[in-house]
Chain A
Amino acid sequence: MFNILKELIYSSGAVSLTGGNLVMWLVAFVLLYLAIKKQYEPLLLLPIAFGILVVNLPLTFLMEPEHGLIWFFYHYGIEQDIIPPLIFLGLGAMIDFGPLIANPKTLLLGAGAQAGLYVTFFAAILFGFDLQEAGSIAIIGGADGPTTIYLTSKLAPHLLGATAVSAYAYMALVPIIQPPMMKLLTTDHERKIVMSKLRHVSKLQRVCFPIITAMTIMLVVPPAAPLISMLMLGNLFKESGVVERLTNAASNELMNIVTIFLGLSIGATMTASTFLSPKVLFIFFLGLFAFVVSTAAGLLMAKFMNLFLKDKINPLIGAAGVSAVPMAARCVHKVGSEANRRNYLLMYAMGPNVAGVIGTVVAAAILLKNLG
């Protein structure tokens, strides 16, 4: 009788708990609180938090290679690169490239913001991270969850939890992070600029854009293929108008299903041993740095372009090159309306915003080519 009890106790996970596990429980509980009570990004935070919790309960073997339930999700979904491209499929089905097609110059703003990534790369190296880790940290500045996860899982999988959480956290904090930079780098006069009306974009142009973009980028930067092909396919679904069922499935059911597995898998990488290290604090700091520098880079690019343009762009939209869609565009609109209440920058800001998504994928592909 006593033996049975002893067996039970020894085979329980409770005896194998480490102090680190308990700390991670606390992290999980805090995130659960933020998700459920404060409704702070619950779609991602809730599964992530639960993933953290279950993976820090010893002896469950949920993340045991070849055996664990959650390991299977992680392995097939993230290690085998299925989830991030599928999220892009859904994203493409929801994105409107119209403002971008109407003003293709904004592609350069999407490129400008990515310069911030490389500055962050440099900073990460100075902080002591190796090349691959620095690349994963740099991509946080792209403000793109799936791209961050895709690149990190290939370059530095041990940093996946920290980089993914940073990326999503700072995306949600864009309304706080961006305005100070925007006000710092632009003059009041510049912020008041009203841009000329966007030209009309025909359906044929909307259909050709994803095809041309997909072909161009895949020919020039093949490593971008999984992400860009899915993004453009989703957009083609939407713009063609003939596959509404597929468009709906991609933007609703598929997105939701994939988000479940994404959140759970990411959370499950955050074991006490991988997460509780000073490196993680550096990553959070550098992630913030990445966002700030990318915002600045986009703003400066816009100001630079204005030197050559007769039809000035409002430099604020440069900040929307940080591809947090549509948070950055909304932020630009808000700051713009504070300077001039009749200025409706939202649509204009969407151009660089979606250009930034493409830009981040290209930047990630180039990093992968160099460091993979």
Chain B
Amino acid sequence: MPELIAPITGNVWKILVAVGDKVELDDEMIILEALKMETPIYCDDGGTITEIKIKEGDAVNEGDILVVIG
């Protein structure tokens, strides 16, 4: 199943989607924060969200799985 992976190390600022949402390519899904800079993360594969592995405020590393899309 496709996953949304963190491209940078940072903190989870905002989660813009919920489990069950349908997402398409290029939808803004999560906003990470690094060095006080808001960085939106966009959807790579369309589908329906089955799992959100993080919550707002979490620290994530580059390569961590953020969301699982079915």
Contact = CB atoms under 8 A, between A and B. Distances in A.
Direct contact of A and B (CB under 8 A): yes
Main secondary structure of the interface of A (DSSP, over half): helix
A347 B10 CA distance: 10
B31 to A, nearest CB: 12
B59 interface: no
B42 A346 contact: no
Interface residues of B, number: 12
Interface residues of A, number: 12
B16 interface: no
A283 to B, nearest CB: 30
B40 A330 contact: no
Contact of B35 (A330, A337, A341, A342): A330
Contact of B8 (A330, A334, A341, A347): A347
Interface string B1-42: 000000111000000000000000010000000111101101
A344 B35 CA distance: 13
Contacts of B62: 347
B42 A341 contact: yes
A329 B34 CA distance: 11
Contacts of A329: 35
A134 B26 CA distance: 50
A61 to B, nearest CB: 42
B42 A342 contact: yes
Nearest to A348: B8
Nearest to A347: B8
B40 A341 contact: yes
A330 B9 contact: no
7 contacts: A330-B37, A334-B37, A344-B7, A344-B8, A346-B8, A346-B37, A347-B34
Interface of A: 326, 329-330, 333-334, 337, 341-342, 344, 346-347, 350
Given A326-B36, A326-B37, A333-B37, 4 more contacts: A326-B35, A330-B35, A330-B36, A341-B40
Interface of B: 7-9, 26, 34-37, 39-40, 42, 62
